[in-house]
């Protein structure tokens, strides 16, 4: 409902300050909706593999919006105009809000909320920090590729606007396909193994994109990046949800906060680097981020193995 109200506020904005308030409210509503939807889906599944699988499937629906809505807006913008489109978007956002009023949700896992002291402990938890910074680099990468690919294709590789748009659409389509495939793979494959494979694929895809001499060569890199990015964010959330079942909402909030910080700062860093050294050099951050994800996932894997080892030793001592 907050998203719907924010869209209506934006449609009536008469200056930059009022527009900024509307966008801020839109971010608040969207962020809460994102975190709550992931938390609810995670809580529906007790098995860690099924949890990660379901979260990947949820990510497909986010991909639908990223892929199709820009095309729909572009096709009707001239005939309808921007303000009616914002009204339609507000109504579409309000519909599920009203439907949720009649849904039965799981009971709260804590009867009186979470004490601030416990929330502070979660922020300092080593595993939460490892997962959070993994998502910091992943979120940054998704924003970088989604935001800079078209500019790179047009200005560096000489692609037309239409070709660049189709290649960017291929990126989102590959991400959606990757999440569908990942949702099935995770029923048979360990989450840590899939994230490791995805990090390597991200680094390779980023390298292909940087080394491409034409738009046709860039397609391979962009599609590989989309397929590789697909599983990292939702699968990592699945790992967090399995380790912190009773505090999944709090932990997800922390992870989204750290992840979106990467989504804000890393694209800015690419812009600064690109202004001085060129966009091809700036996009090298994508490969560096992928390597960081690989290193952090190895750390997560070792952390879990050590915890399991300590648990077994404790049982033997008892």
Q: What share of the chain is helix, strand, coil (3-state, %, to 5)?
A: 85, 0, 15
Tell me what the pLDDT averaged over the chain comes to. 87
Task: Specify whether the CB–CB gap between 67 and 84 falls below 8 A.
Answer: no
Look up the CATH architecture of domain 48-63+118-300. Up-down Bundle (1.20)
d(CA 33, CA 97): 10
Task: Specify whether the CB–CB gap between 48 and 242 falls below 8 A.
Answer: yes
Please state the domain extents for the chain. Answer: 48-63+118-300
Residues 6+ apart with CB under 8 A from 193: none
Task: Specify whether the CB–CB gap between 225 and 91 falls below 8 A.
Answer: no
Count of helices and strands (H, E) across the chain: 13, 0
Q: What angle do CA 183, 227, 240 make, to 5 degrees?
A: 50
Residues 198-216: what's their mean pLDDT?
94
Which range among 107-116, 200-209, 229-238 shows the weakest confidence by mean pLDDT? 107-116
Burial string for 127-136 (b: 16+ CB within 10 Å, else e) reads bbbbbbbbbb
**Over the stretch 152-168, which tens digit does the pLDDT of each residue have?**
999 999 988 888 888 88
Query: Taking the mean position of all CA atoms in its chain, how far away is CA 229?
Result: 9
**Over the stretch 245-292, which tens digit does the pLDDT of each residue have?**
888 888 888 999 999 999 999 999 999 999 999 999 999 999 999 999
Predicted pLDDT of residue 314:
41
Query: Taking the mean position of all CA atoms in its chain, how far away is CA 109?
Result: 25
Predicted pLDDT of residue 200:
97
Integer CA distances (angstroms), 294 to 13, 195, 204, in order: 44, 8, 12
d(CA 266, CA 275): 14
d(CA 208, CA 167): 14
**Over the stretch 8-55, which tens digit does the pLDDT of each residue have?**
999 998 889 889 999 999 999 988 888 888 888 888 888 888 999 999
Return the DSSP state at 247: G
Predicted pLDDT of residue 39:
87
**Over the stretch 94-132, which tens digit does the pLDDT of each residue have?**
888 888 888 887 776 665 555 566 667 788 899 999 999
Q: Considering the entire predicted model, what is its pTM?
A: 0.83
Question: In 10 A of CB 103, how many CB atoms?
Answer: 8
With 80 as the cut, is the pLDDT of residue 137 above it?
yes
């Amino acid at each position: 409902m907050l998203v719907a109200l924010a869209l209506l506020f934006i449609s009536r904005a008469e200056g930059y300050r009022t527009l900024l308030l509307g966008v801020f409210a839109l971010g608040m509503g969207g962020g809460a909706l994102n975190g709550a939807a992931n938390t609810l889906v995670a809580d529906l599944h007790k098995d860690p593999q099924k949890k990660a699988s379901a979260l990947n499937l949820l990510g497909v629906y986010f991909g639908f919006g990223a892929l199709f809505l820009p095309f729909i807006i572009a096709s009707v913008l001239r005939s309808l105009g921007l303000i009616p489109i914002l009204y339609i978007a507000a109504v579409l956002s309000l519909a599920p809000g009203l439907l949720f009023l009649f849904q039965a949700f799981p009971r709260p896992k804590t009867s009186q909320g979470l004490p601030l002291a416990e929330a502070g402990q979660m922020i300092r938890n080593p595993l939460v920090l490892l997962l959070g910074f993994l998502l910091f680099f992943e979120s940054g990468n998704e924003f970088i590729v989604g935001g800079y690919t078209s500019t790179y294709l047009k200005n560096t590789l000489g692609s037309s606007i239409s070709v660049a748009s189709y290649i960017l659409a291929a990126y989102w389509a590959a991400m959606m396909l990757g999440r569908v495939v990942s949702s099935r793979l995770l029923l048979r494959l360990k989450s840590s193994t899939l994230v490791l494979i995805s990090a390597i694929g991200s680094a390779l895809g980023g390298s292909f994109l940087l080394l491409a001499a034409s738009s046709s060569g860039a397609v391979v890199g962009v599609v590989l990046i989309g397929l590789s990015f697909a599983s990292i964010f939702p699968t990592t959330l699945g790992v967090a949800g399995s380790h912190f079942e009773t505090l999944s909402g709090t932990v997800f909030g922390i992870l989204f906060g750290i992840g979106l910080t990467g989504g804000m700062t890393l694209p800015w860093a690419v812009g600064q680097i690109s202004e001085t050294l060129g966009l091809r050099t700036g996009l090298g951050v994508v490969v560096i981020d992928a390597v960081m994800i690989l290193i952090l996932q190895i750390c997560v894997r070792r952390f879990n193995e050590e915890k399991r080892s300590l648990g077994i030793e404790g049982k033997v001592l008892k």
